Structure 1
Amino acid sequence: MKSLARLLLATTFLCTAFVPHFAHAEKTPELDFAKESLFSAKNITYDKEDQTVEATGEVEVVQGDRVLKADKIIYDIPGDTIRAEGNVVLLEPTGDVVFAEEMELQNELKIGAIRDIRILFSDQSRLAAHEAIKMDENRTIMTKAVFSTCRLCEKDPERPVLWQVKAEEVEHDRAEQSVTYKNAVFEFFGVPVMYTPYFSHPDPTVDRESGFLSPKVYDSSILGYGLKLPYYIVISEDKDMTITPNITTKEGVQLAAQYRQAVSNGRFKFDGSATYVDERNNQNVTTGDKEFQSHIRGDGQFQIDDTWLWGFDVFRTSNDTYLDKYDISDDDTLTSRAYLQGQRGRNFSVLSAYSFQGLTEADVSSETPFVPAWWDYSYVGEPNDFGGRASVNMDTLLIYREDSQDTNRLSLSGGYHIPYTTSNGQVLSFDTSLRGDLYYARNILADPSDPSSGTGQNAFSARAVPSVSVEWKYPFVRQAGSVRQVVEPIVEGVWSDVIGDEDTPNEDSLSFEFDDTNLFGSNRFAGLDEVEKGARLNYGINMGVYGESGGYTTLLVGQSIHSDKNTSFPDGTGLEDQFSDFVTRLEIRPASYLQFINRTRINHDKLSIARNELDMKVGTSKNYFDLGYVYLRDDPNGLTQDTREEVYVEGKVEIAEFWSAYGNYRRNLAGTGNSVDGRIGIEYLDECFGFSLELKKSFTRDRDLEPDTTIGFNIRLLPFN
């Protein structure tokens, strides 16, 4: 602290240079204005006999990265000690603020003793103690200490905080980034609830620290009483792991784990679980045997260079109902993928391999496709002087099945696009393309809808698909005050055909939906295998109202007319007749807290609703209500193709400060109707404590999985978890 001593003496000298009794001093101490030290005060006096400097009135000392403020500071030069008194505040380099009535510090404010200390950490947590000793710049030992992350009640500061830890001794080690307690007692609302001779947690400068996370206690009609106790492990700066034993009274112990790692060129993570339980048949009756049930899931992505990257997604389970049983996932099909992807300029290429696992009762593993290779390449050329540009696409697909049809496909297409805008604002675009497809199928199906109808026959097939389209738009815009109105009629003429084999395998065009997203386009089938043939006219009108603040309302209405009565589209799609159904999309977003989207398909003959999708979101993150509704008069993509009608609601409301209630519910409205699943809960979360109580109900039965009711309880003490 010699540099500080010199600064204090130099400041004293400058402040008193014109006072008579200092004008004849024998010798002034050496002046050294150290760059890392600053000092200010209203009054400064120097006692030559006692060799002390006394500063009073808004005293501030800056020593390196530390700042000391007090009403009064006395510096003992021979002892190289600063004693600060009255409203003492010490700001540490970490952002922690130390308050006290009295401090005695040495060695550039790094060591010393403090009475009635209070510390405000950088994360707003607090620690108070009767006295403290700063052993060095990193270690502070406090006696009779209290720690909490809870703020004091503004109306009644003397009221006990929600929780706190009291200890005979607390050591804060900044080098180890830890706070350690000896003989600690946890109190809730001032009532002692637990004693421990030793307790430790990371200090606020730590982003990650090994330790137990928030436990979860639950009661499930399938699993019985359960306890999840996750333990988080920091392996190194670039990797960590969480291990979660799930202890249940009916199904024993399930062990789950998650591993995450970042590498120099990417990142990856895996999670998985396993358990050893009684084997059950589809009627949920035990067979007398035991079996392992498990799952694994992971993903990763890695950059090779500026052009190429590769990655993977994997998801598999040992049993069809295992994921639902342990509330891991409600997916009906699990997809695993590995891929190599590159993009340079206007060139894009991706090579993928896929594996699927179906989890419904109708899925047969030997008929599930495996895709060892799927390569897709696309190129879009630079626009020429007229704005036109060429494009090239190539697609290669290999599909293998153990007991059903295998398909190999090679597709190559080229196209040309010309946009044009007239002087009065009409927008025209001309597109033409020619695609060639080559197929080789093994074990061809006698009935494409029956995967088990393989004939054992193999065959090549080839075709060419020419396509031409012209689109016209004429947007009319009007400004009315702060509102901009847009009316845009759209007309598109399309012709495409198949030259060659028309009976080709269909792998990627099995599902179809006609809505506003594919009203315009040269081929409304998904994928490449099915082709929309013949001439058709697509037309519609797009209207919108846009406000200056960003809110808007838009409406699209359109229809398609086919030149042929036989359009080749399946019944129930809305395109099976020469005149298609009408499709609409209404979107209302007047502000950030309100969103309404309604998509409909209206039967062109009876003007009845054939399809209706509604999605509404109202509110903010604290208070919101979501409503989803879907109605399909005929579901061509479903197993039974029957009517589908379903409603889903979800909401959250802040019922008081820190308190909120939430829930969701899904119900099938088709037929006699039935509930699918639901959840309701209440949550408390403030700056230091959180808990939730939740009731979850599943109403469906799936083979060995009965309808389930689960009550769960979760508690959090911040910042410990």
Structure 2
Amino acid sequence: MRTLIGPGIGVVMLLLASASMGHAAEQKSGELDLSKEALLSADEVTYNNAEQRVEASGNVEIVQGDRILKADRIIYDISADTVRAEGNIALLEPSGDVLFADQMELENELKTGAIRDLKILFTDNSRLAAHDAVRETEDRTVMTKAVFTSCEPCREDPSRAPIWQAKAEKVIHDRVDKTITYQNAFLEFFGVPVLYTPYFSHPDPTVDRESGFLAPTVFSSSTIGYGVKIPYYYVISEDKDMTITPTITTKEGVQMAAEYRQAVESGDFQFDGSLTYVDKVDRNNVDTGGKEFQGHIRGDGEFHIDDAWTWGYDIFRTTHDTYLKKYDISSADTLTSTVYLAGQRGRNYSLLSAYSFQGLTEADVSGETPIVPAWWNYSYVGEPNSFGGRFSADADTLAVFRTDGQDTNRLSLQGGYHIPYTTSNGQVITFESSLRGDLYYARDILADPADPSSATTHDNFYGRIVPSAALKWRYPFVRQSGSIRQVVEPIAEAVWSDVLGDDDTPNEDSLSFEFDDTNLFGSNRYAGLDEVEEGGRLNYGINVGVYGASGGYTTLLFGQTYHFSEDTGFQAGTGLEDQFSDYVARLEIRPADYLQFINRVRLDHDALFLARNEVTMKLGTTENWFDLGYVYLRDDINGLTQSKREEIYVAGKVKLAEFWSAYGSYRRNLDDGGRSIEGRLGVEYLDECFGFALEARKSFTRDRDVEPETRFSVKIRLLPFN
């Protein structure tokens, strides 16, 4: 007996339940379980009662649990519990993968069966195709004559071979292990086999992390020779992993590096380090005989104790002054290591920290490098009273130790009061006052404070009181003109501070100094507490701004300081050594997100020549951008030579085509006729499945055993593998 249901689009038939699809009529409609039942829709459905067979054609769709099968025609054999699908087949898996085929024969609720001419589109848009496949279980598919790639088909010619693909006689997709395994496989580029392997595997697209080799980097360096880096990524567990990277070079042998990362309940941390065993050389890179270990260790972490308290660390050390530059790990001249405990509750903040420094320049002397075993800062800001004023309290304790030089211990306590006031016509007046007491104990006092090597055997206590007061006035004038808002704001600040007691206290935290727009206003222009700006002075300037409705703006700050005393206490070259200071200014232009220009200058107050000029500019988007940096210091008082400094830096990236881009950077010293410092030029290709980068870099400077270097490197990425 045959029963024809249809024709007519939208005919829906409830097929049978349980392990087969055959007993839906026995189940009450109110108890329908879509995870077991199958819903069939088609243009035409024919039921053959004698042969226990259902045939459907025309826009056929079967919904079985989380699986959806679509085809031109299906034949369901009820007694055998099999579904044979033909023509334009698409099977949507619960994972999101989509299987396409010309013919399928499935059973076990569409979970197992045989497939001809299989094509799989994974959730990350990678693709796998096979001549035939057998779904042995719901989680295991075995394919023969298969090919895998993450490259999209060519738009002009879809039949063209992709950039890369992996071909294999046999491929196994195991969804339990989440791996795709290849046997007797070739790696092809543009259809040309370049590498054969009898076996390899990689994680399937559902895996975020999986152990395996990452893309190698091949390079050529005039310092360490030809080399290759072969990183291996190892997933230890869900909360920790590491990367092990051997670097093999022709001149320096093998360097081993590792990076470890872990997340814990209270925070996270990471470490990286490296080690190599090389020939000993002198500062001129001449072999002195013998071998030595060189390496580095670096790490950081932060952990929450409770809602108020956090502790952490940040360490960086190396065994050799030039090791980091030689192996392209870091170009820093000083390494800083710290451990800290910080807490904030309400308006109270506390920070306990310790510091260790490692100087890497030729002028650094390890015995004169300070160690800070303890530094505690505490700050409290009170609630505003009825007048808007508030009290503040600060405490600071510092211990500085040296193996060869002066040791310093400091205790500082300060109380202050701050009150703002705004007049009825918009003038803003702020009054601040503070009283600070400092107590020092120094051992092996320096005979010459400017010479760290002039330590003596003398010890001494120092004490002083530092009162200060400041009155600041601002009067912003605002005008709206269409969508443009204009602001003109004159600023004046009268400041007085003095030192009562010892005036020759040790100086540990105020050794460097810059006078610019950032410290034009304020009661103390020094960076730390050890140095105090004394006497009365008047800070004044004007702030002008133009702001657009879309967020663009242009601002200009210009100002100067006048000291009432001829002896300002500042050294020559700072811009504050005379009663009338140099002029400082900052111009910032940002009409849109793609352009930012900042120019900071300091002009000599007598001759109006540039004593300092800094320019930074950022132009472009993430795909096309240009950076410019320029600095000119007539007297670099914080430098090693304290002489003139002039330097320019440019960098940029340009998108050449859809997937191609070029990038580069260049740094040059413009002083004394000029000389190049470093240059870099590279080209990069990156699409959805393949990445390639070729870079050339040249260093023109010599640092003891690290000579000027030329380095070429090549890196290839096969996505999604790395």
| TM-score band w.r.t. shorter chain | over 0.9
CA offset at residue 195 of structure 1? Answer: 1.4
After superposition, give the CA deviation of every residue in 1:667-719 in whole Å (9 maximum; x if it has no partner): 01111211111111111111111111111111111111111111111111111
Match of 2:60 in 1: 59
Match of 2:4 in 1: none
Match of 2:419 in 1: 418
Which runs of structure 2 are paired with 1:201-600 in the superposition (5 Å)? 201-600=202-601
1:656 counterpart SS class: coil
Match of 2:667 in 1: 666
Letter in 2 for 1:347: N
1:293 counterpart SS class: strand
Label 1:235 to 1:670 Cα distance change in 2 as closer, same or farther (>3 A): same
Q: In the alignment, does 2:172 pair up with 1:171? A: yes
Letter in 1 for 2:622: S
CA offset at residue 34 of structure 1? Answer: 2.2
Letter in 1 for 2:241: D
After superposition, give the CA deviation of every residue in 1:281-338 in whole Å (9 maximum; x if it has no partner): 1121111111111111111111111111111111111110100110110000001111
CA offset at residue 30 of structure 1? Answer: 4.9
1:135 counterpart SS class: strand
After superposition, give the CA deviation of every residue in 1:222-243 in whole Å (9 maximum; x if it has no partner): 1011111111111111111111
Label 1:574 to 1:235 Cα distance change in 2 as closer, same or farther (>3 A): same
CA offset at residue 604 of structure 1? Answer: 0.8
After superposition, give the CA deviation of every residue in 1:574-610 in whole Å (9 maximum; x if it has no partner): 1111111111111111111111111111111111111
- Residue pair 1:44, 1:53 contacting (<8 A) in 2 also: yes
Which segment is superposed worse, 680-689 or 43-52? 43-52
- Residue pair 1:489, 1:541 contacting (<8 A) in 2 also: yes
C-alpha distance in structure 1 between counterparts of 2:582 and 2:65, whole Å: 76
Letter in 2 for 1:590: P
- Residue pair 1:371, 1:399 contacting (<8 A) in 2 also: yes
CA offset at residue 71 of structure 1? Answer: 2.1
Q: In the alignment, does 2:604 pair up with 1:607? A: no
Label 1:599 to 1:14 Cα distance change in 2 as closer, same or farther (>3 A): closer
Give the number of aligned pairs.
701
CA offset at residue 31 of structure 1? Answer: 5.3
Letter in 1 for 2:663: Y
- Residue pair 1:255, 1:274 contacting (<8 A) in 2 also: yes
Which runs of structure 2 are paired with 1:123-202 in the superposition (5 Å)? 123-202=124-203
Match of 1:635 in 2: 636
CA offset at residue 81 of structure 1? Answer: 1.6
Letter in 2 for 1:271: D
CA offset at residue 61 of structure 1? Answer: 2.2
- Residue pair 2:11, 2:42 contacting (<8 A) in 1 also: no
CA offset at residue 47 of structure 1? Answer: 1.9
CA offset at residue 29 of structure 1? Answer: 6.0
Match of 2:33 in 1: 34
Match of 2:715 in 1: 714
C-alpha distance in structure 2 between counterparts of 1:475 and 1:70, whole Å: 73
Match of 1:20 in 2: none
1:278 counterpart SS class: strand
After superposition, give the CA deviation of every residue in 1:218-264 in whole Å (9 maximum; x if it has no partner): 11111011111111111111111111111111111111111111111
2:330 counterpart SS class: coil
Match of 2:82 in 1: 81
Match of 2:97 in 1: 96
C-alpha distance in structure 1 between counterparts of 2:42 and 2:345, whole Å: 64
Which segment is superposed worse, 30-39 or 335-344? 30-39
Percent of residue pairs bearing the same amino acid type: 70
Letter in 2 for 1:408: N
Match of 2:625 in 1: 624
C-alpha distance in structure 2 between counterparts of 1:658 and 1:246, whole Å: 29
CA offset at residue 621 of structure 1? Answer: 1.2
After superposition, give the CA deviation of every residue in 1:384-425 in whole Å (9 maximum; x if it has no partner): 111111111000000001110000000000111111112221
C-alpha distance in structure 1 between counterparts of 2:590 and 2:522, whole Å: 27
When the two chains are superposed, the root-mean-square deviation of aligned CA atoms in Å is 1.5
CA offset at residue 53 of structure 1? Answer: 2.2
- Residue pair 2:13, 2:40 contacting (<8 A) in 1 also: no
CA offset at residue 39 of structure 1? Answer: 3.8
CA offset at residue 548 of structure 1? Answer: 1.3
C-alpha distance in structure 2 between counterparts of 1:646 and 1:616, whole Å: 15
- Residue pair 2:14, 2:40 contacting (<8 A) in 1 also: no
CA offset at residue 168 of structure 1? Answer: 1.0
1:695 counterpart SS class: strand
C-alpha distance in structure 1 between counterparts of 2:282 and 2:363, whole Å: 16
Letter in 2 for 1:404: G
C-alpha distance in structure 1 between counterparts of 2:504 and 2:721, whole Å: 64
CA offset at residue 134 of structure 1? Answer: 1.1
C-alpha distance in structure 2 between counterparts of 1:65 and 1:500, whole Å: 82
C-alpha distance in structure 2 between counterparts of 1:695 and 1:372, whole Å: 43
Label 1:464 to 1:30 Cα distance change in 2 as closer, same or farther (>3 A): closer
2:585 counterpart SS class: strand
Match of 2:20 in 1: none
- Residue pair 2:129, 2:147 contacting (<8 A) in 1 also: yes
C-alpha distance in structure 1 between counterparts of 2:676 and 2:13, whole Å: 86
- Residue pair 1:593, 1:620 contacting (<8 A) in 2 also: yes
Label 1:135 to 1:398 Cα distance change in 2 as closer, same or farther (>3 A): same
1:323 counterpart SS class: helix
C-alpha distance in structure 1 between counterparts of 2:95 and 2:154, whole Å: 27
- Residue pair 2:649, 2:665 contacting (<8 A) in 1 also: yes
- Residue pair 1:12, 1:45 contacting (<8 A) in 2 also: no
After superposition, give the CA deviation of every residue in 1:424-458 in whole Å (9 maximum; x if it has no partner): 21111111111100000001111011111112111
Label 1:13 to 1:120 Cα distance change in 2 as closer, same or farther (>3 A): closer
Which segment is superposed worse, 173-182 or 36-45? 36-45
CA offset at residue 70 of structure 1? Answer: 1.8
After superposition, give the CA deviation of every residue in 1:448-494 in whole Å (9 maximum; x if it has no partner): 11111112111101111111111111111111111111111111111
Letter in 2 for 1:95: G
C-alpha distance in structure 1 between counterparts of 2:581 and 2:260, whole Å: 52
C-alpha distance in structure 2 between counterparts of 1:656 and 1:294, whole Å: 41
1:160 counterpart SS class: coil
C-alpha distance in structure 1 between counterparts of 2:516 and 2:594, whole Å: 26
Label 1:622 to 1:29 Cα distance change in 2 as closer, same or farther (>3 A): same
Instruction: Identify unmatched segments of 5+ residues in structure 2.
Output: 1-9, 16-23
- Residue pair 1:12, 1:46 contacting (<8 A) in 2 also: no
Which segment is superposed worse, 58-67 or 205-214? 58-67
CA offset at residue 144 of structure 1? Answer: 1.0
C-alpha distance in structure 2 between counterparts of 1:324 and 1:185, whole Å: 39
Letter in 2 for 1:211: G
- Residue pair 2:12, 2:42 contacting (<8 A) in 1 also: no
Match of 1:697 in 2: 698
- Residue pair 1:377, 1:394 contacting (<8 A) in 2 also: yes
CA offset at residue 639 of structure 1? Answer: 1.3
- Residue pair 2:12, 2:40 contacting (<8 A) in 1 also: no
C-alpha distance in structure 2 between counterparts of 1:88 and 1:71, whole Å: 7
Which segment is superposed worse, 486-495 or 47-56? 47-56
1:455 counterpart SS class: coil
